[in-house]
Every structure is written in C-alpha cells, then in structure tokens.
Amino acid sequence: MKTSCVLGVSMVMVAVTAAAQPLPRVRALDLVSTMALERGREESPRLRALVAELVDSDVIVHVVASPTLSAGVIGTMRFVARLGGTRYVRIDLAALAGPDLRVATLAHELQHACEIARSAARSHADVRDLYRAIGRAVPGARDAFETDGAQRAGSDVWGELRGLRRTARTTDQ
C-alpha cells in the first residue's frame, strides 16, 4: 500500500510539472527530424537563432521526416492553419537525405517559418501573397516560392556544420 501511494504522488508531480512547462514552438515529430533538430541546436548558432526567434512568436512548427517528397526536393514548409491566436506550419524533410544536408535544409525551412512569424499572414492566401512579395516563384512548381533569406540560412548552417567537421579533424591529428 505504501508503495502505491508514493507512486501515485510521483505520477501526479510529473503531470503537474509537465503541464506547467509550455510545449516547444518547434516540434520534431519523429526520430529522424528529432536528430536533425537536436544536431542543429548543438552545432549551429544560426539554427539556434532561428528556433529562438520562433519561441517568441505565435507560430508552431511541426517537423516531419518524409519518405515521399518529390524527386529532387529535400524539404518543404507549408502553412497549415490558424487556430485561435496560433499559426501552424509543417516542415517536411527528406528522410533519406544525409545528416548535414537534412540539418541545413531544416534551417532553410525554419527561415521560411520565421518569415511567416514576422508577417501578418493569417491564411493560405495571405502566405501566398507574402511570398509573392518577398520571394520568387520556383519554376515548374505551383505555389512554391524561394527567398534569399532561406537560401542564406541553409548555406550558413551547411558551412557551420562543415567548419565544425574540419576543426574536429585538424585537432584530432
């Protein structure tokens, strides 16, 4: 009897603690995307800054590793919905991409999420108008846009990851 009371009290304390902590704004929903997000946070100041910007926004990002992206597509970001005062976007990452490429692509797509967070876009039409204003259409793709900021974010993180690798190799020798 004594053990069950302690266990019950412990479970209640865990539930209260979990309820008191807000859920993160950037949520990896599977192991592959969790590994990309954690690696990016650990090794990339640029990716950490993007996540920090989203923490202070009304945007929640769900990150999913997808085995079904179109050929040649490594990542996508889509506006999903606005519910109450919260906007939701989804990032799909190519599940079979290499780890460095997946992290750099995550940064690229997180930059797009930050672009939405900085804007007043509250609907699919608003997001389309935003990207028509700040980006350029991707040739051959319907309602797909690219921005210089997202390309820079991906390149910056790629360089950070590769720079860390070069430094690690030279210090090991």
Q: What percentage of the chain reaches a pLDDT higher than 70?
A: 82
Tell me the pLDDT band of 14, cut-offs 50, 70 and 90: very low
List pLDDT tens digits, range 46-102: 999 999 999 999 999 999 999 888 878 899 999 999 999 999 999 999 999 999 999
Phi, psi (degrees; rounded to nearest 5) at 11: -65, -40
pLDDT(143) > 70 = yes
Of 140, 81, 64, which Cα lies nearest the Cα of 116? Answer: 81
Q: Tell me, what's the pLDDT at 69?
A: 84
- What's the average model confidence in pLDDT over 123-147? 92
Could you tell me the pTM of the whole model? Answer: 0.83
Q: Tell me, what's the pLDDT at 40?
A: 97
3 state DSSP class of 85: coil
3 state DSSP class of 77: strand
Q: How many residues are recorded in the chain?
A: 173
Q: Tell me, what's the pLDDT at 18?
A: 43
Q: What percentage of the chain reaches a pLDDT higher than 90?
A: 71
